[in-house]
Amino acid sequence: AAQEFPPQEPPEMTVPTAFERRGDLAQQLFGSTIGDPANLLDLGLMRGIGANVKPFAPTVKEIVERSSKDALNAGKQLSQTTKTINKEMPSQNKEVAYEQDLFTKQLKTPREDNESLFRVAEPSDVSKAKKGTVATPDLQSIHTVQLPTGQFATTTGFSTVQPIRTGFEFAKTPEQVAHITAGLRKSPQEQLVAVVLDKYDRPIQIIRHTIGISNQAAVEPFSLAGSIANTPGAKSFYISHNHPSGLSDLSAADKQISMMLNNLTANTGIENKGIMAVGKGTYSFSSPLGQEIVNQNIPPAIRNKSINMVERVFKRSQVLDKNLISSADDARKMADKIVGDETGLMLLNQRYQPVGFLPVNEKSLLNLRKSGESTNILKALEKANANSAIFVTKKNLSQDQIDNIQKLFNAANVNMLDVLMGETRKSNAMNMSTRGTDFLSIAPPVAGA
CA 205/CA 310 separation, integer angstroms: 7
Contact 194, 228 (CB under 8 A): yes
Q: What is the DSSP letter of 241?
A: E
pTM: 0.70
List Cβ neighbours of 371 (8 Å cut-off, separation of 6 or more): 361, 364, 441, 445, 446, 449
Please provide residue 423's backbone torsions phi and psi, each rounded to the nearest 5 degrees.
-60, -30
Find the distance separating the first CA and the last CA of the chain, reported in whole Å: 78
pLDDT string in tens for the chain (449-residue length):
444 444 444 444 443 433 333 344 434 444 444 444 443 323 333 323 333 333 333 444 444 455 455 545 655 554 554 444 444 444 444 565 676 554 444 554 444 444 434 322 222 332 333 333 333 333 444 334 445 478 999 999 999 999 999 999 999 999 999 999 999 999 999 999 999 999 999 999 999 999 999 999 999 999 999 999 999 999 999 999 999 999 999 999 999 999 999 999 999 999 999 999 999 999 999 999 999 999 999 999 999 999 999 999 999 999 999 999 999 999 999 999 999 999 999 999 999 999 999 999 999 999 999 999 999 999 999 999 999 999 999 999 999 999 999 999 999 999 999 999 999 999 998 766 666 777 654 433 322 22
List Cβ neighbours of 325 (8 Å cut-off, separation of 6 or more): 98, 331, 334, 348, 352, 353, 354, 390, 417
Give the H/E segment covering residue 81: helix 58-88
Same fold: 136-152+317-427 with 155-313: yes
CATH superfamily of this structure's domain 155-313: Cytidine Deaminase, domain 2 (3.40.140.10)
> Does CATH place domain 136-152+317-427 in 3.40.140?
yes
- For residue 110, cis peptide bond before it (omega within 30 degrees of 0): yes
CA 46/CA 125 separation, integer angstroms: 17
Contact 270, 234 (CB under 8 A): yes
Domain boundaries, the chain: 136-152+317-427, 155-313
CA 237/CA 275 separation, integer angstroms: 9
